[in-house]
Structure 1
Amino acid sequence: MTELWMRDLAPDLLLVNGSVTTMDPTQPSAEAIAIKDGRILALGSNAAIAALAGPATVTRDVAGRRVIPGINDTHNHLLSMGNVLNEVQLYATRSIDDIKRLVAERVQTTPPGAWILGRGWDESLLSDRRFPNRHDLDEVAPNNPVVLERVWNMLLANSAALLAADIGRNTPDPPADQLYAGRIERDANGEPTGVFRDRAKRLVQSAIPPRTIADHEAAIRTACAAFNRAGITSVAEPGLFPEQLRAYHNVHAAGDLSVRVSLCQAGWGFGSPDDDALVEQRIANVAVFTGFGDEWLRMDAVKFLPDGGIGDRTALMFEPYANEPDNRGQFVIGERDLFERILWCHDRGWSVDCHACGDRMIELVNRAYAAAQQANPNPRVRHRVHHAYLPTPTSLALMREHRIPALATIPFITNLGESFVTSLGEERASRIMPLRTYLEAGVPLALGSDAPVTTYDPFVGIYSAVTRKTVYGRVLGAEERISRLEALRAYTADAAWVTFEDHLKGTLTPGKLADIAVLDRDFFTVDDEEIKELKSVLTIVGGAVVHDETSARDNA
């Protein structure tokens, strides 16, 4: 009989010669990390960690590079971003000619009659100082239906797409008594220009061939690979429908998920009015609630979309938009329904994640969250506000008292900031996403991207938090800047707290998941302008290497 039979207790992987930032105040820094069974076994000096190695241990020398916890994006449409990565990306366009050039390039590789989709244009950044229209697209794509989503809440369609959707001058706008109805933009002759707003977008979108579950699975795999290259190891994915949840399950079951995902079901305001009527039954039929799942895939929250955005002047505000004295934005979900539906989710054990941009809507959402907790205290739900642009003093007080986190989609300051100035004026726009105010008020703060509205790159987000600069170099609210360490914490440790996962991840601590990013340059010493150019050269999720370009860089 064998006197002792046991498994190998030596680490599977060592990372040595690093500048490790753990985000754990117990031991803020280290030189090396030992990993075993997908978790962090130990941190310490190079000598202490090297002494733990066994015959099968793999040792990786990270050559003095900065090592941080894997990035956790608290508001990221991973699946949609995977689709956009295979479409025409328009985020960097600065003229209508830029848009036309990119569409023309895609036409060259697309069969006649096939749909061309894209995303990312923003009229406030175009040198033409006008909206693009269908005639612009017709010049370069006469034989393909083309639909290009704006960064948010509008789309542009060419004539072939309008024909496919059976839309013409006699097509009515959505009913005016419908919340967030939107409209078809028309020229002086009453003809559609190709621009569709708010829920009028559905008139075009309904003609686009629907994506299959296999398409969703492919998009998830595409996005996971891209996110791993950016150092992202976790996201909260908001606004999912049943077939998308199934796709995530399938990718996870196949062993192909390399980003941990907190799943937020699509709630009210996120889909069409017809879909809104089915939300309650759909959520009730799931029969589980916040926290169900494992370390890779878990049910997290119900996503609400009760107002619009600032750039398109639909966020619900107390004061009117610039040069529009009668426009204070819109309800997507009425006030009474908002309170009742938040309480309904709360009573069933679901955290609620509300899109809220306008100051009036942010205050309503926080009042509804507070009312739900007062009516039925439940420490196992954590309601939050994403975007969280313009908190009032009342909102700040409620968020502090009830520990309601602000999930600031911070890359917006850089990439959408000019549209905020156009809609609100520079003084009001400078108060959007007041990170320093949130921290000083004692409000929990975490950061996210809202990709594909804008980039998923977390280092653009951190650059935005640290500099408050738009793409044109305008500083919006210098007093709201936060430090690099504070921004990193909001993308790691504090992000994990939002979804009740801070016992699992967010810091490099013995016993926690080994989710790690090794950066190409030192996060803390590069010039501010270089922050947005930082890259992960080695990304590890659960102890497994999911992205590695260290050899190529070391040999360059």
Structure 2
Amino acid sequence: MFFADYVFYDGEVITVDRFDSVVDCVCVKGRKILATGEYNSLQHLIGPNTKRIRLNGRSLLPGFNDAHLHLVLYGVNQLAINCKESGMDSLEAILHALSEKAKSTPPGRWIRAWGFNERKVTEQRYPTLEELDAISTEHPIIITRTCGHISVVNSKALKLANIDQHTPNPQGGIIEKDQNGHFTGRLIEAANMEMNQVASYTEEELLKAIEIANRDFLAAGITSVGEAGAFNADSFRALQIASQQGLLQLRIYALLGSLVDSKDFLKKIIASGTLTGTGNEWFKLGPVKLFLDGSSTGPTIATREGYTSDPANHGILYYSEEEIYNILGHAHKLGYQITVHAQGDKAIEMYLNVVERALKEHPRKDHRHRIEHAGISTPDLQKRIKELGLIPVPNPPFHYEFGESYIHNYGERVRYMYPARDFIDQGILAAAGSDSPVTDYNPLIGIHTAVNRKTSEGTPIGENQSINVLEAIRMYTYNGAYASFEEHIKGSIEPGKLADLVVLNDSILNIHPHHIKDLQVDLTMIDGNILYQRKDSKEVGFYEVH
């Protein structure tokens, strides 16, 4: 007779099985779930050495699976100045922080800031090249907008990137100049991506960044991530090193793409002979990913109709439809899962045309091709997404931080932005991603916003797309596992599946929906091991081991 190593009982065990069963007990043996059910019926699995953890009505869920975030980028950002911190609500404060950083940074070394949003500062504008040059011309300086698609740099950075008055705009990008032909310092889309490759990090910095991200994501109950990529192969290599050395304890499904010249990067990946699904439960290769358009908050997404805020603006496209097909159609033929960054309805439509053509020429069952973001998914596009069997990966928390700008830039189209309700009603399986560091990685903020569809200022935004709590939890657990072909081993709490679990500090099903974002993670378990426990939880008698 063998007994469980852990038993969690007297709680709200949200299994996310096909019946959405909620029980009061789960038993863990080794790396896997041993049994679920009612505590009284599972006494035979509890032995003298079983650790019994009383939940006292708290929620226990499958570990959160963020299907799309940038783990490495989040980590390296923590090494830089954070423009989202309290007190950084003006250009004056941000420029002061940069000046102080310059005083302690050796000449020639990069000074970086991230999370900038021109709508959130008093001056309601970007900093200028001249303002950054006034801080230093001996240090390269880069301030990255919160979307990650736009940056502002100083003259030293431009010089390091070999950008001068004769440098042409890259495909899909703009090196901005004023009406007199002078650089403003602002780099948009592909131009920003190329600059970030110049402003690269050492392997030591990358590994430190990954450790930071691992720590923070564990504390948020995240056990699996779809790593959506960074600026070059160095970060991908560092991720693998960190996973092999145990510095990275999360499960990784690596999207094979680069934020710089993604088409060329994919050609190299395909030529290497690697294939979707290669790897193990800890690190697995995912789809090849191509960038199609810009940022929803930039705003630079490619739309069929002009922006409400600027009717002449239809955004930025990186490639033509034929270019997209030449790379992704070929990848589909070779057996890859494919995906794209597509935010605007124009970009989404182009991708759907490509997938439809690829499937017609080379039919394939259960391909699980994805669409990262699927921002403005209107009813006609939803219909085609369903027919083609695609998996959209929307970003629920975007509305919380950026909703006011969405209303300003897209008007009534917010009714179909990241349309979780429509996806579910259409029978489309959609997985949720935070796209961190673009916005907060905390899955509870994502679940909160998916349920309430309100901005951080309380403004309703596309309330017709609200979903219920269990539906939102499924997007952050089982659906993420399905999007990586791993629903048979994780994503729900069922016997035989991996023991990746998260315990909250209250009942997510009974708390008022407006307070979901205030919930905290008390415990995170991966592979049957407790890797995070909130300090205060012991003090309230949470971790009760007999």
TM-score, normalising length from structure 2?
0.91
Deviation at 1:173, TM superposition (A): 4.9
- Report whether the alignment pairs 1:327 with 2:313: yes
Task: Tell me the equivalent position of 2:67.
Answer: 74
- Report whether the alignment pairs 1:264 with 2:250: no
Separation in 2, partners of 1:203, 1:13: 49
> What residue identity is the alignment partner of 1:391?
S
| Inter-CA distance 185–154: structure 2 relative to 1 (3 Å threshold) | farther
Deviation at 1:488, TM superposition (A): 0.8
Secondary structure of 1:428's match? helix
Deviation at 1:162, TM superposition (A): 4.5
- Report whether the alignment pairs 1:368 with 2:354: yes
Deviation at 1:463, TM superposition (A): 1.7
Secondary structure of 2:471's match? helix
Task: Tell me the equivalent position of 1:130.
Answer: 125
Separation in 2, partners of 1:141, 1:179: 30
> What residue identity is the alignment partner of 1:384?
R
- Report whether the alignment pairs 1:386 with 2:372: yes
Separation in 2, partners of 1:120, 1:317: 25
Conserved 8 A contact 2:415-2:464: no
Deviation at 1:160, TM superposition (A): 4.9
Post-superposition Cα deviations, 1:428-452, rounded to whole Å, max 9, x if no partner, equal: 2343112212222222212111111
Separation in 2, partners of 1:94, 1:389: 28
Separation in 2, partners of 1:414, 1:497: 26
Deviation at 1:202, TM superposition (A): 5.2
Matches for 1:241-256 after TM superposition, within 5 Å: 241-256=232-247
Deviation at 1:260, TM superposition (A): 0.6
Work out which of the residue numbers 224, 229, 234 in structure 2 matches 1:239.
Answer: 229
Separation in 1, partners of 2:256, 2:339: 10
Deviation at 1:521, TM superposition (A): 2.3
Separation in 1, partners of 2:537, 2:430: 36
Separation in 1, partners of 2:44, 2:102: 59
Deviation at 1:465, TM superposition (A): 1.1
Secondary structure of 1:353's match? strand
| Inter-CA distance 162–534: structure 2 relative to 1 (3 Å threshold) | same
Deviation at 1:305, TM superposition (A): 0.6
Separation in 2, partners of 1:13, 1:104: 52
Work out which of the residue numbers 441, 446, 453 in structure 2 matches 1:461.
Answer: 446
Secondary structure of 1:442's match? coil
Using the TM superposition, name which of 80-89 and 90-99 deviates more.
90-99
Matches for 1:43-442 after TM superposition, within 5 Å: 43-91=36-84, 93-100=88-95, 102-103=97-98, 106-107=101-102, 110-111=105-106, 113-137=108-132, 144-152=139-147, 153-162=149-158, 165=161, 171-175=165-169, 178-186=170-178, 190-201=181-192, 204-205=195-196, 207-208=198-199, 210-239=200-229, 241-266=232-257, 270-272=259-261, 276-277=263-264, 279-285=266-272, 287-424=273-410, 426-442=411-427
Secondary structure of 1:456's match? coil
Query: How many pairs were matched up?
Result: 537
- Report whether the alignment pairs 1:41 with 2:34: yes
For structure 2, list consecutive stretches of 5 or more residues without a partner in the other structure.
Answer: none
Separation in 2, partners of 1:526, 1:74: 26
Deviation at 1:172, TM superposition (A): 3.7
Secondary structure of 2:511's match? coil
Separation in 1, partners of 2:406, 2:187: 20
Post-superposition Cα deviations, 1:389-422, rounded to whole Å, max 9, x if no partner, equal: 1123332122112221111012111112222233
Conserved 8 A contact 2:129-2:184: yes
Secondary structure of 1:409's match? coil
Deviation at 1:484, TM superposition (A): 1.5
| Inter-CA distance 203–22: structure 2 relative to 1 (3 Å threshold) | closer
Secondary structure of 2:152's match? strand
Task: Tell me the equivalent position of 1:9.
Answer: 2
Using the TM superposition, name which of 54-63 and 518-527 deviates more.
54-63
Conserved 8 A contact 1:447-1:491: yes
Conserved 8 A contact 2:83-2:115: yes
Secondary structure of 1:354's match? strand
Secondary structure of 1:302's match? strand
| Inter-CA distance 278–375: structure 2 relative to 1 (3 Å threshold) | same
Separation in 1, partners of 2:395, 2:292: 17
Deviation at 1:379, TM superposition (A): 2.6
> What residue identity is the alignment partner of 1:279?
L
Separation in 1, partners of 2:30, 2:14: 21
Secondary structure of 2:393's match? strand
Deviation at 1:555, TM superposition (A): 6.3
Separation in 2, partners of 1:144, 1:531: 43
Secondary structure of 1:31's match? strand
Using the TM superposition, name which of 124-133 and 338-347 deviates more.
124-133
Secondary structure of 1:182's match? strand
Identity %: 30
Conserved 8 A contact 1:173-1:200: no
Task: Tell me the equivalent position of 1:5.
Answer: none
Secondary structure of 1:443's match? coil
Deviation at 1:530, TM superposition (A): 2.3
TM-score, normalising length from structure 1?
0.89
Separation in 1, partners of 2:97, 2:468: 37
Work out which of the residue numbers 446, 455, 466 in structure 2 matches 1:481.
Answer: 466
Separation in 1, partners of 2:239, 2:141: 28
> What residue identity is the alignment partner of 2:270?
I
Deviation at 1:235, TM superposition (A): 0.8
Post-superposition Cα deviations, 1:40-63, rounded to whole Å, max 9, x if no partner, equal: 001122333343123432222333
| Inter-CA distance 133–21: structure 2 relative to 1 (3 Å threshold) | same
Conserved 8 A contact 1:69-1:508: yes
Secondary structure of 1:235's match? strand
| Inter-CA distance 109–30: structure 2 relative to 1 (3 Å threshold) | farther
Using the TM superposition, name which of 379-388 and 501-510 deviates more.
379-388
Secondary structure of 1:366's match? helix
Secondary structure of 1:414's match? helix
| Inter-CA distance 32–360: structure 2 relative to 1 (3 Å threshold) | same
Conserved 8 A contact 2:62-2:502: yes
Task: Tell me the equivalent position of 1:28.
Answer: 21
Task: Tell me the equivalent position of 1:4.
Answer: none
Separation in 2, partners of 1:323, 1:538: 44
Separation in 1, partners of 2:97, 2:44: 55
Deviation at 1:76, TM superposition (A): 0.8
